[in-house]
Amino acid sequence: MKTQLYSYVRWSSDKQTGNSSLERQTRKSKEYAARNGLEWAELRDEAVSAYRGANWDEKKSALGGFIGAVKSGLVPSDSWLYVESLDRLSRQNVLDATEWFISVLKLGITIVTGLDEHVYNRESIAANATGLMMSIMLFARANEESETKSKRVVSHTKLLIERHKEGKPATIKSAGSHVWWIDSTGDEKEAVKPHPVMWDAAKMIVEMCKEGHSVFRIVAALRERYPYGFKGRDWSGSTIKNMRVNPALYGCRIMQLGKDEHKLENYYPPLCTEAEFYRIQEVKSNNKFRANKSSSISLLGGMRLIRCGQCGGTMNTLTTTDGKIRYVCSSGLASKGGGCTRSWSLSGILIEHCLMIVLTHAYFDDSIRNQNSATDLDGQIEQHEVRIAELNTEIKNIASGIAKHYSEALVELLAAAEKERKQLVQELDRINQKKLLLTTQSVFETNMVNFFELIQWGIISDPTHETRVKLREIVRRLMRSVVIHKYDGIVSLQYSYKEGEYFVFEGAGKRHEWTHYIKRDKDTSTVVSAEIIEQVKNHRLIKDIETSLYNLETAQDGMFNMVLDMLAIVNYPKLKGSQFWPKKSSTERTVFKKPE
């Protein structure tokens, strides 16, 4: 196998992207490899600076990754590294640059510079120390040039930052790089624009992130719709992960100049609102399941919603060999005196079938609760907008104070103000969404139709159906808890949704029978004195109250049956009593105690 020559090219800012240097360096390195019987390969660091050693980072840069691979034996130590000049490798201070340079040569790597085709390796340095002295001089000159250039660039960049803050268009190419879905090729006194090709791909990514799709599924969709669309290369999961946490999504560019951080609001064309950006982070943190093309998507896993009723531990999900989901209490094996003496599991189809009954109640209830006057929300919106404006001013003033005189106290104040602002932005987004719903005609009917499209039995019975990702987000938003009990040979499932009651489904009576009932949250009950209770007993309206309670129970039963009828329309089968009586031995059936 031929020895490989790795052609390394690097540039530090967008301003240098797209020039003829890359083509020239590539051509010359290929010619050199051919003349010397070497196999050509490429290393490329785009918008990576050598002034602070960023291109040495073994995890984040191509050059650093190459050196790390040589150290670990993944790349042969007799490989060659081709660079146009030594300043492509480092512009750090001469001591650090020389130390790094010597350490690379000690690994066995041969470095060749394209400008003069000078070869550096252990043998050449040992035979003639002049080569090492020359490299030291070159590194020293490169660092001096970078120092001078850095001061000039920082000064010019600050002028452009002030121009942006004054509300004037600016494209800052001299420091750092722009995000990949942006076209920054215009003049520095023009605003950046959406990239003519990549913008649509970025929009698709944001929409899929909002819907809760996994990184794997997003990459798969991109490969299908935009094959090799990411700078001519394949899409990767890291691209999506980095993008979805980048404030550039809502138009904010964050620049670091030395110790100073500059937050440029409305610099980029936004792909989403700031509130939607926070919502993406929330969805990401709550959808902690791993997904690939064939993986199951549980409706409760990874959100800390479902717990074992005995030990209180979170129930996890597993997929059986026939592709079905089961929820398993794995904490029982490790718990000490917590109630579970062994790990046990329950069919996911039963848990999720009952979940859909309760979720339908929750969705219906949530829609009804929103049928308030939209004008009632105007006051809340105004209060939030006023406070956010005040915080914007506070944050700007604190940031200016930190720039003039760094202080830990000011940093803490800034963090607190930014945290409060983020919370208010999220709350304002929820209120605006509610108002929008209220001012939209026939929104209730439309929402319910859309909801039933999402929860069709074909989707619930297919653990790999992609629509389950959207359904998970509704579960996360509306459900409060699911508790699974197993006692006396039966299964008892207890569900509660936010702002609602507890629904209980369990085996009852004879084997193969089941029942359900609704109970109030014990924590919401009001404790009253015996004297007040006695007065209530003797009150003339007690019969009316009893009648009202009876009517309420009748209405709840009617609502429950109505939900079952609606689910039948979207092909839900009837629940069977046998599902609540697991086929286990009598000893297993009596392991757990009945919940109080």
Q: What is the mean pLDDT of each run of 10 residues along the chain (596 residues)?
A: 88 56 81 93 79 76 89 92 83 81 90 85 81 73 67 81 90 85 91 92 90 82 83 82 92 83 90 88 62 71 85 85 85 54 84 94 77 66 87 84 76 87 85 67 67 89 87 89 87 86 85 79 44 49 49 66 87 89 52 47
Q: Is residue 167 included in any domain, yes or no? A: no
The answer to whether 86 touches 75, Cβ cutoff 8 Å, is no
Residue 145 CA, distance from chain mean position: 41
Asked if residue 226 belongs to a domain, the reply is yes
Amino acid at 140: A
Q: Which residue has the tokens 């599924």?
A: 217
Residue 230 lies in a domain: yes
* pLDDT reported for residue 522: 47
CATH code of residue 81? 3.40.50.1390
Residues 250 and 384 in one domain: no
Burial of 448 (0-12, 13-18, 19+ CB in 10 A): middle
Q: Are 47 and 14 in contact (CB under 8 A)?
A: yes
Note down the domain range covering 251: 178-286
- Verify that 141 and 46 share a domain, yes or no: yes
Of 259, 286, 313, which closes a domain? 286
- Per-residue pLDDT, 75: 92
Q: What is the pTM of this model?
A: 0.51
The residue from 148, 170, 202 where one domain ends is: 148
Sequence-distant (6+) residues with CB within 8 A of 219 are 235, 236, 237, 240
377 and 400 in a single domain? The answer is: yes
Residues 122, 43 share a domain: yes
Based on the structure, what is the number of domains in the chain?
3
291 located within any domain: no
Please list the residues that pair with 589 across neighbouring strands. Answer: none
**Residues 135 and 199 grouped into a single domain:** no
Residues 260 and 315 grouped into a single domain: no
List beta partners, residue 257. 260
Residue 168: inside a domain: no
Mark whether 321 and 244 lie in a shared domain.
no
Q: Which of 148, 164, 199 is at the close of a domain?
A: 148
Q: How far apart are CA 498 and CA 379, in angstroms?
A: 24
Separation of alpha carbons 409 and 461, rounded Å:
55
- What is the pLDDT at residue 288? 53
In 317-462, alpha helices (H)? 348-369, 378-404, 408-438, 443-454, 457-460
Euclidean distance between CA atoms 392 and 165, whole angstroms: 14
Residue bearing tokens 């309670």: 549
How high is the pLDDT of residue 15? 52
Can you tell me which residue has the tokens 């998507």?
Answer: 297
Structure confidence at residue 591 (pLDDT): 42
DSSP-based three-state secondary structure for 267: coil
Q: Does 260 lie in the same domain as 182?
A: yes
Are residues 297 and 462 in contact, defined by beta-carbon separation less than 8 angstroms?
no
Q: Is 451 exposed, middle or buried (0-12, 13-18, 19+ CB in 10 A)?
A: middle
Q: How far is CA 583 from CA 212, 576, 579, in A?
A: 36, 14, 9
Residue 319 lies in a domain: yes
Q: What does DSSP say about strands 39-45 and 4-10: parallel, antiparallel, or unpaired?
A: parallel
Is 160 among the domain residues? Answer: no
Angstrom distance (rounded) from CA 102 to CA 121: 9
The answer to whether residues 246 and 335 belong to one domain is: no
Degrees to nearest 5, angle at CA 89 with 86 and 91: 85
Do 253 and 316 sit in the same domain of this protein? no
Output helix, strand, coil percentages for the chain, rounded to the nearest 5: 50, 15, 35
Task: Give the distance, in angstroms, between the CA of residue 328 and the centroid of all CA atoms in the same chain.
Answer: 26
What CATH number did the domain enclosing 242 receive?
3.90.1750.20
Pairing of strands 479-487, 306-308: parallel
Are 504 and 553 within one domain? yes
541 plus 451 within the same structural domain = yes
How much is the pLDDT for 182?
Answer: 94
User: What pLDDT does residue 555 have?
Assistant: 61
164 in a structural domain: no
Which residues partner with 119 through β-bridges? 112
